[in-house]
Amino acid sequence: MTKRDSALHRIQSAENTPARRRLMIVVALLALGALVWAAWSIAEPAFHSRIVITTGADGGIYRGFADRYAPLLKRKGITLDIRASSGSVENYQRLTDPSSEYQVGFIQSGTVRPKDTDDLQTIAAVSYEPIWVFYRGAATIDRLSQLRGKRISIGVPGSGLLHVAQVLLGFAEVTGSNSTLVEMDANEAYRSLENGTLDAAFFIGRPDAPMQQTLLNSNLKLMNFVQADALVQKFPSLAKIVYPRGSTSIANDLPPADVTLLAATAQLVAKDSLHPALVSVLLEVAKTVHGGEDYFTPVGAFPNLNTAEFPVTDESARYFKSGPPFLQRYLPFWLASFIERRLLILVPFLALLVGLLQALPRMLESRIKKRLVVWYRELKSLEDEIWKTTQPSAAQIAQWRDEIESIDAHAGQIRLPQRYFQDVYALKQAIAVVRSRIGQIAAHAGPSSVH
Domains of the chain: 18-38+346-449 (no CATH), 47-324 (3.40.190.10)
308-367 per-position pLDDT tens digit: 889 999 889 988 887 766 556 656 655 556 556 566 556 666 677 777 777 777 777 777
Q: What is the pLDDT of residue 12?
A: 47
d(CA 154, CA 156): 7
> Nearest 5°: phi and psi at 40?
-65, -40
pLDDT of residue 39: 56
Residue range 25-44: mean pLDDT, rounded: 63
Average pLDDT for 218-225: 97
The predicted pLDDT at position 256 comes to 95
CB 17 within 8 A of CB 388: no
Mean pLDDT of 199-227: 95
| Alpha-carbon torsion angle 311, 293, 291, 96, nearest 10 | 40
3-state helix/strand/coil string of 409-447: HHHHHCCCCHHHHHHHHHHHHHHHHHHHHHHHHHHHHCH
Instruction: Label residue 168 by pLDDT band (50, 70, 90).
Output: very high
What value, to the nearest 5°, has the Cα angle with vertex 226 and ends 222 and 228? 100
Least confident range of 306-310, 383-387, 407-411: 407-411
pLDDT of residue 336: 56
Mean pLDDT (whole number) for 391-399: 87
Which residues are CB-neighbours of 2 under 8 A, at least 6 positions away?
Answer: none
* pLDDT tens digits along 88-128: 999 999 999 999 999 999 999 988 888 888 999 999 999 99
pLDDT confidence tier of residue 255, bands split at 50, 70 and 90: very high
- Per-residue pLDDT band for 47 (boundaries 50, 70, 90) equals low
Mean pLDDT along residues 231-246: 95
Q: Does pLDDT of 231 surpass 90?
A: yes
pLDDT in tens, 416-426: 777 777 877 88
User: Whole-number mean pLDDT of the chain?
Assistant: 84
Per DSSP (E only), the strands in 25-87 are: 50-54, 79-83
Class of residue 212 by CB neighbours under 10 A (exposed 0-12, middle 13-18, buried 19+): buried
Query: What pLDDT sits at residue 18?
Result: 59
Distance of CA 18 to the CA centre of its chain: 47
Percent of the chain with pLDDT over 70: 82
Q: Quick check: 290 pLDDT over 50? A: yes
Q: Is the pLDDT of residue 216 over 90?
A: yes
